[in-house]
Amino acid sequence: MKTCLILLSAGSGTRMGLNRNKVFFELSGKSVLRRSLEAFRDMVQEIILVHRPADKALILREVEKAGVTIPVHLVHGGETRQDSVRNGFRHLTWQADDIILIHDSARCLISADLVRRILEKAGQTGAAIPGIPVTNTIKKASPDQIISTVDRSTLYEAQTPQAIRADWLDRALVRAEADHFQGTDDASLLEHCGLPVSLVEGEKRNIKLTSREDIPMAEAFLSNLNLPRIGHGYDVHRFAENRKLILCGVDIPCEKGLLGHSDADVAAHALMDALLGAAALGDIGRLFPDTDPAYKGISSMILLKKVVSLLKENDFEIINADLTIIAQQPKLSPWIGRMVETLSKTMEIDPACLNVKATTTERLGFEGREEGISAHAVCLIRKITPFGRN
Ligand code: MG
């Protein structure tokens, strides 16, 4: 049994007043399509991406950005949503009990939890869709005259993803075509065939981006992801003869240097670990293993540049960083200005966002005995949003 996703991305941006497909609109630094792809990439084995022929190049770019490693097939959309689903489904090789998820790309705030619950329910019952209870009073009306009030206690707003057994979806699509039946969602085709559809509690945040007013709402749902993130890094290197002493990229005159696979810039190492920590991207040991000859003797400023690029690729920007170098000797205060300058140039950030300080340990501990130097770093970073900083 496999799980496949048909991702409907063939819409236009006209209702949002955009001159291009709304799936390319960026929310908090990522396109709507990329967000949808990221939500499903680890949950399914195959993706059918239904799109407009004119969008192909942009679609491929977003698939690449989303880091999808499972097969993605591009299929052209049809006249109606139902035609698009049919086109997508006809492209699949399926077995009866495979589960097909059908999702509107415009619902890009979908949570992994909801996808899991829908899949679990559909696995048990054959078909499941998310719905949220209607909370407004619903009136039946002619354009300007109320006819009656509808009992809302059994009314739900349907969302996607809708999960359906492959053989049921096949049956429903064939029957709808034969009967010239048009449904506004996939469950309605099953209902038309008399097939049961289970209801799973949907999510308020799983909104469908339709008009411009939906954008600030989507941003608000995403804003809790934009809280600043803190990171901490710590490193120690021992002194050794015949080595240079490099701290924050600055070559400091000293009779001893620090031992290490790279240039042993203990302060830069602590800073990189703080940045990676804040972004939840691991640590420098994992990124630049000291078993790799490529990093032998390498300047830590090259590594720092790589770390900063990695954060950028993940849509993070650096707010500030603060470093403490713990060394009994040499005296570092004359070099602090150059350290800040070197780091800020390498990281391409304002020097006012960076602080480097040095302290001794009053001759206590390994630093005090002049056996080595240690460094601590903390930093704050945040996700970039399309509306600037929040
Ligand atoms: Mg180190």
Give residue-wise pLDDT tens across range 185-229: 999 999 999 999 999 999 999 999 988 888 888 988 887 666 799
pLDDT beyond 70 at 390: no
Residue 68: phi, psi to the nearest 5?
-80, 125
Distance 308 CA to ligand 1 centre (A): 17
Span 91-110, average pLDDT: 96
- Residue in 203, 165, 160 with CA at minimum distance from that of residue 7: 160
Distance 250 CA to ligand 1 centre (A): 16
The alpha carbon torsion through 186, 191, 196, 202 (nearest 10 deg) reads: 50
176: left (phi over 0), alpha (psi -120 to 50) or beta: alpha
- Residue in 292, 298, 296, 274 with CA at minimum distance from that of residue 354: 274
Residue 286's pLDDT band (cuts 50, 70, 90): very high
The pLDDT of residue 226: 66
The pLDDT of residue 388: 37
Share of the chain above pLDDT 70, in %: 97
Q: Per the structure block, which two tokens stand in for 68?
A: 């999808």
Mean pLDDT, the chain, whole residue set? 93
Q: Per the structure block, which two tokens stand in for 37?
A: 């792809």
Residue with tokens 């949220």: 132
The alpha carbon torsion through 372, 279, 388, 35 (nearest 10 deg) reads: 160
Distance 233 CA to ligand 1 centre (A): 10
CA distance 227 to 250: 33
Distance 238 CA to ligand 1 centre (A): 10
Query: Which DSSP state fits 269?
Result: H
User: CB–CB of 210/15 below 8 Å?
Assistant: yes
Distance 348 CA to ligand 1 centre (A): 22
More confident residue, 276 or 67: 276
Distance 248 CA to ligand 1 centre (A): 12
CA distance 101 to 165: 9
Distance 349 CA to ligand 1 centre (A): 23
Task: Report pTM.
Answer: 0.62
Distance 265 CA to ligand 1 centre (A): 7
Distance 381 CA to ligand 1 centre (A): 22
Distance 351 CA to ligand 1 centre (A): 23
Span 147-170, average pLDDT: 96
- Ligand 1 ion: nearby residues, β-carbon < 5 Å: 235, 269
